[in-house]
C-alpha cells in the first residue's frame, strides 16, 4: 500500500507554511525520533525555501508535487480551515496518512468525505486536537473514575482570546471553528458522546458575517450538562471545571498549555481544597508521537475516524441550534 510504513521513523511532509506549524508543530516534529521531516510544500518559492531551511528539510513549490513523492508516508495539514477537506482528500487519494489541524472539517459532509477516503485507502486520518495528548487531562479523568468529586453533574469550559486571529477580519474564520471546537471536544471528553444541543447562540459583528463568540448548552443521555463559552472579543480565558455531587475539579490554561507550564489541578471538596501540581509536558510532541505510533504499529485507525465524524456532527448541531434561536428572536 502506497504511503504505508512498517518501521520508523514516519516520513512526513507538510502542506503549507502556517504560523501554528512554525511556532509549535514543526519544532515538536524535529525533536521526535518517531518522525523524519522530509519536505514542506508552499505556493511561494522564496517563503517556502526559507521555511524549509529553518527546519532542515526540503522545499517543494506546489502541494500536489509533494503528494506525488514516494519518499513521504504521511502529511501534516495546517492550511486554512476552508481547504482542510480538499487537501486531506487529495493526500489520502495519493496514499498518504493525514494529520490535519483542527477543525478537520467545516461540517459533517466534509468529514464524511474525508473519512470515506481514509477508509478506502486503509489510511489514518487524525484531527490534531493536541490538547488531548497532555497528561493533565488523563489525571483529571483518573480522579473522576476514583470518585474525587462524586458523580459528575456538569462540565463548564471556556476559551476566549482578546483579539481575532489572522484571517478573521477577511471573514475567513469563525470563532466556533477556531475556539469553540476546543470546548466542544472537552465536553465530549468528560460528559461523553451523543451530546444533545439544548441551546446555542452565536454572536456576529455584522449581518451575514462570521461569528465572533458563542455559548452552548449540551446534555448527555445520562443527564450531565455542559456549559460552554468562547470567542475572540473578551479577556483571555482557557479553562474548564467539572462539578460533581461531592466537589469540583478545575484546570486553567487547559487547551493551549505551554511546554514549560506545570499544570495545577484544583480539587474542592466539603472538607477543604487541594491543589495538585502536575509535571510539565510538551503536548505537541506527544501528539506527533501518537500519530506516528498509530501509523507505524498499524493500530486501529477507526476510533480516530469516528472522532472526526462525531466532532463535525456536534459542530453542525450547534450551528443549527444557533440559527433556530436567531430566527425565533
User: 244: which strand partners?
Assistant: 152
What is the distance between the alpha carbons of residues 198 and 166, in angstroms, rounded to a whole number? 31
Cβ–Cβ < 8 Å for 56, 30: yes
Record the cell numbers describing residue 258, joined without a space: 505551554
Record the cell numbers describing residue 303, joined without a space: 476510533
Cβ–Cβ < 8 Å for 74, 60: no
Residue 102: active-site member: yes
What is the distance between the alpha carbons of residues 23 and 36, in angstroms, rounded to a whole number? 18
Record the cell numbers describing residue 246, joined without a space: 461531592
The single residue of 90, 102, 304, 319 carrying the catalytic annotation is 102
Backbone phi, psi, residue 140, to 5°: -60, -45
What is the distance between the alpha carbons of residues 322 and 329, in angstroms, rounded to a whole number? 11
Which residues, at least 6 apart from 46, have a Cβ–Cβ distance to it below 8 Å? none
- The residues assigned a catalytic role are 102
Amino acid at each position: 500500500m502506497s504511503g504505508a510504513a512498517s518501521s520508523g521513523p514516519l516520513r512526513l511532509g507538510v502542506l503549507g507554511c502556517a504560523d501554528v506549524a512554525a511556532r509549535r508543530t514543526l519544532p515538536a516534529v524535529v525533536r521526535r525520533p518517531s518522525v523524519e521531516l522530509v519536505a514542506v510544500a508552499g505556493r511561494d518559492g522564496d517563503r517556502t525555501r526559507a521555511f524549509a531551511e529553518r527546519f532542515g528539510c526540503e522545499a517543494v513549490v506546489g502541494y500536489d508535487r509533494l503528494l506525488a513523492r514516494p519518499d513521504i508516508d504521511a502529511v501534516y495539514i495546517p492550511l486554512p480551515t476552508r481547504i482542510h477537506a480538499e487537501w486531506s482528500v487529495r493526500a489520502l487519494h495519493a496514499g498518504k496518512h493525514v494529520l490535519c489541524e483542527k477543525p478537520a472539517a467545516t461540517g459533517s459532509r466534509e468529514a464524511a468525505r474525508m473519512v470515506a477516503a481514509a477508509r478506502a485507502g486503509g489510511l489514518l486520518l487524525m484531527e490534531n486536537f493536541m490538547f488531548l495528548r497532555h497528561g493533565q487531562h488523563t489525571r483529571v479523568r483518573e480522579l473522576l473514575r476514583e470518585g474525587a468529586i462524586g458523580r459528575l453533574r456538569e462540565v463548564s469550559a471556556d476559551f476566549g482570546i482578546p483579539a481575532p486571529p489572522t484571517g478573521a477580519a477577511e471573514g475567513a474564520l469563525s470563532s466556533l471553528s477556531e475556539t469553540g471546537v476546543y470546548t466542544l471536544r472537552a465536553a465530549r471528553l468528560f460528559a461523553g458522546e451523543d451530546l444533545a444541543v439544548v441551546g446555542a447562540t452565536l454572536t456576529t459583528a455584522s449581518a451575514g458575517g462570521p461569528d465572533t463568540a458563542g455559548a452552548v448548552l449540551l446534555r448527555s443521555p445520562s443527564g450531565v450538562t455542559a456549559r460552554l463559552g468562547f470567542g475572540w472579543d473578551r479577556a483571555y480565558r482557557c479553562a474548564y471545571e467539572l462539578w460533581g455531587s461531592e466537589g469540583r475539579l478545575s484546570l486553567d490554561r487547559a487547551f493551549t498549555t505551554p511546554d514549560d507550564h506545570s499544570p495545577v489541578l484544583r480539587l474542592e471538596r466539603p472538607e477543604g481544597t487541594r491543589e495538585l501540581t502536575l509535571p510539565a509536558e510538551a503536548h505537541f510532541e506527544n501528539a506527533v508521537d501518537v500519530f506516528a505510533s498509530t501509523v507505524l504499529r498499524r493500530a486501529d485507525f477507526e476510533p480516530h475516524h469516528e472522532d472526526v465524524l462525531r466532532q463535525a456532527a456536534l459542530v453542525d448541531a450547534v450551528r443549527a441550534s444557533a440559527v433556530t434561536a436567531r430566527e425565533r428572536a
